[in-house]
Amino acid sequence: MSGGLLVAGTTSDAGKSVVTAGICRWLVRQGVKVAPFKAQNMSLNSFVTREGAEIGRAQAMQAQACRIEPTALMNPVLLKPGGEQSSQVVLMGRPVGELSARGYHGGRQQQLLGTVLECLAELRGTYDAVICEGAGSPAEINLRRTDIVNMGIARNAGLPVLVVGDIDRGGVFASFFGTVALLSEEDQRLVAGFLVNKFRGDVSLLEPGLDMLHGLTGRRTYGVLPFRHGLGIDEEDGLRVSLRGTVRESNVAPPVGEDVLRVAVCAIPLMSNFTDVDALAAEPGVVVRFVDRPEELADADLVVIPGTRGTVRALQWLRERGLAEALRRRVAEQRPVLGVCGGFQILGERIEDEVESRAGTVDGLGVLPVRVRFAREKTLARPVGEALGERVEGYEIHHGVAEVTGGETFLDGCRVGQTWGTHWHGSLESDGFRRAFLREVAAAAGRRFVPAGDTSFAALREEQLDRLGDLIEQHADTDALWRLIESGAPQGLPFIPPGAPA
């Protein structure tokens, strides 16, 4: 059996995903054969593995940090929210149905524990170390009975637990102490210590607090990671916050040409795989911004309608906000619009949906000659093709089946004038195609923008992962961290009252 570690967090978005990736990259650079694992992931950002399984994008990114191919073993349960009350359950990469939160936590979740433990055991039998990521907080006492992703899996697999806290939010000491104090005595035995994330300033000012935390809990802090811009790669949750006005961090290099290129991304409900636009933001001189008002489209050189888990709902939202009419005006004026997956379906003439929204037949925006019918079987694929004279790779995750009745062929979709549509996620990560596409957009927008000839999205992603590895190597006690992974939680850790409620 290999070594292992569970990276938990005081809250959602404490930095578990990037810390896990950083530990993975640090280990693989030491010659350790390592794999990531997340038992249960709730995310609208997903990826398709080579065997055709759907998993969270964060686990795909962590596999890249490990320099291995992602597989369904690394994320056996994926929950894709369809609203506030229900999610699609994806088991071992395939959808198995929709469940309410009550239905899932009321019994279905616990039934999946066996599958989860089998996947983890298989990974631990193959790799020297498996770095597991928790979800939310391990101290969610209302969910502990059915937990399969935090202390539930730590207890069953005997994993030591490292708790990550985001100090940039404030209250990190109370969060660390409270997390431990709300766990049962058995769970507390596995919580080895803490890792401070996103610290700004002089670490010496923090050290007295860390010493007091050690005195209060008997648990050490394994590192203080400094705040770094641009490390929030492949976020998990498109439902968590409104992205209106958020600017995707882009390359700091100046534009190659005389102009920048402005990209507006419609922040539609249940937005999925909005990471598609990261490849645009990586280009020098491209500014990517999320918007939700029609007037914010006025100065955009390109408007992107991204994927969504609720195509009909997103279409209604666009109409209610006046964005639908603004998009139609753009199309009539031959100003560039790109629809990806659900965004592509929205641009079509008609949507027949008895699966996702069960809304029946709904009129689309009618700007592309496409009719969409939702099938119960989900399309999961890793297509390869050509467009604009360049090789393109992508991945598909959708229930909608598109019938294209006209226009110019564009990947699996079509193009009419300066309006483009495709189901392919990730196509803009193909460097030659992205540059060719941006040249077309710049010409149509009348911008003297020139794509950089040497931007490699894959290389930039590798640089980001190396930066995560550097953070662990330079700011964590790696000797102590390795002992934790190899030997488990220290013996004799004290119980911190009151513990979990009965």
- Which residues are identified as catalytic? 341, 425
- The Cα 194–Cα 205 span in angstroms is 17
Helix (H, G, I), strand (E, B) or coil at 256: coil
Give the Å distances, CA to CA, from 248 to 43, 233, 343, 450: 19, 10, 19, 20
How do beta strands 302-305 and 337-340 pair?
Answer: parallel
Give the Å distances, CA to CA, from 462 to 348, 408, 467: 37, 35, 9
Residue 401 C-beta-side C-alpha neighbours within 13 Å: 9
Q: Could you count the other beta carbons within 10 Å of the beta carbon of residue 245?
A: 12
Phi/psi at 410 (5° precision): -140, 105
Phi/psi at 247 (5° precision): -105, 125
Helix (H, G, I), strand (E, B) or coil at 370: strand
Segment holding 402, helix H or strand E: strand 396-404
- The Cα 208–Cα 212 span in angstroms is 6
- The Cα 348–Cα 60 span in angstroms is 31
Cβ 89 vs Cβ 77: under 8 Å: yes
- Cross-strand partners of 384: 393
How do beta strands 94-100 and 86-91 pair?
Answer: antiparallel
DSSP 279: H
For residue 231, give the nearest of 471, 473, 477 by alpha carbon: 471
- The Cα 428–Cα 81 span in angstroms is 25
Residue 59 C-beta-side C-alpha neighbours within 13 Å: 34
- The Cα 29–Cα 37 span in angstroms is 19
Torsion of CA 279, 39, 397, 357, to 10 degrees: -120
- The Cα 359–Cα 50 span in angstroms is 33
Cβ 150 vs Cβ 116: under 8 Å: no
Cβ 417 vs Cβ 365: under 8 Å: no
Sign of CA dihedral 165, 167, 172, 175: negative
- The Cα 192–Cα 487 span in angstroms is 11
